[in-house]
Amino acid sequence: MKIKTKIFCDIAELNQIKKFNKKDIVKGFTTNPSLMKKAGAKNYKTYSKNILKICKNKPVSLEVFADDYKNMKDQALKINEWGKNVYVKIPVTNSKGIFMGKIIKELNGMNIKLNITAVYNSQQSKKILKLINKKSKVIISIFAGRAGDTGKDPIPEFKRSIRLAKKFKNVEILWASVREPYNYIQAKQLGCHIITIPPNTIEKIEKFGKSFNQLTKETVKAFYKDAKSAGFKI
């Protein structure tokens, strides 16, 4: 069966969320503490609930930010209560590199929808899949762009992770850390269930379909316009 790759929007700015929530192409939302800080959030709970007031019918992934098991679990349980469409984002390890398998297994066993984030390789995916049941919904978010930034090819890790997850109807593999619109094509070709994309890149994807000739014409027009407005002469 061919997987249809869903587009989620990776975002935190409330006005942008309102805009992209209206788009049919956008099937869900992801965010994180860094995006919220950049958007000017002061109170994590209040800001998250404002997001959920906008996005009532699409899945929203909200992340814990504690670094130890006890506080991470406490945050996860509270976040889970904020809405039926909430996926609780749990990092695959804490900041010390300790695998968060215990909390992943416990929350999964409580039927809490999870988005396991900051995953980079299929070995991490394998460790996650060994712990979870085949009923509660789980997203495994693999950070393609950040891996590519270090010169590592993320594609083989996606292929292996997707193959491992085939036994789980409740598990979706998500392409995270998008760098360009073409990543959407790559995610579709691989069979990723989801790709989460920044707003400006989604707008570029909506314009897919231009011919090479059209692109050439538009590019040369832009060069001509800029040279003319700058008053360049030789």
Using one digit for the tens of pLDDT, what is the confidence trace for 23-56? Answer: 999 999 999 999 999 999 999 999 999 999 999 9
- Which candidate in 89, 130, 134, 135 is catalytic? 89
pLDDT of residue 70: 97
Q: Which amino acid is at 7?
A: I
Delineate the domains of the chain, giving CATH numbers in brackets: 6-208 (3.20.20.70)
Q: Tell me the residue ranges of DSSP E strands in 19-143.
A: 26-30, 60-63, 86-91, 114-119, 138-143
89 classed as catalytic: yes
Q: Angle at the Cα of 31 (from 105 to 199), degrees rounded to 5? A: 140
- The model's pLDDT over 55-103, given as tens digits with 9 standing for 90+, comes to 999 999 999 999 999 999 999 999 999 999 999 999 999 999 999 999 9
What does the mean pLDDT of the chain come to? 97
Nearest residue to 83 (alpha-carbon basis) of 58, 103, 120: 58
Please compute the mean of the pLDDT values over residues 137-153 and round it to a whole number: 97
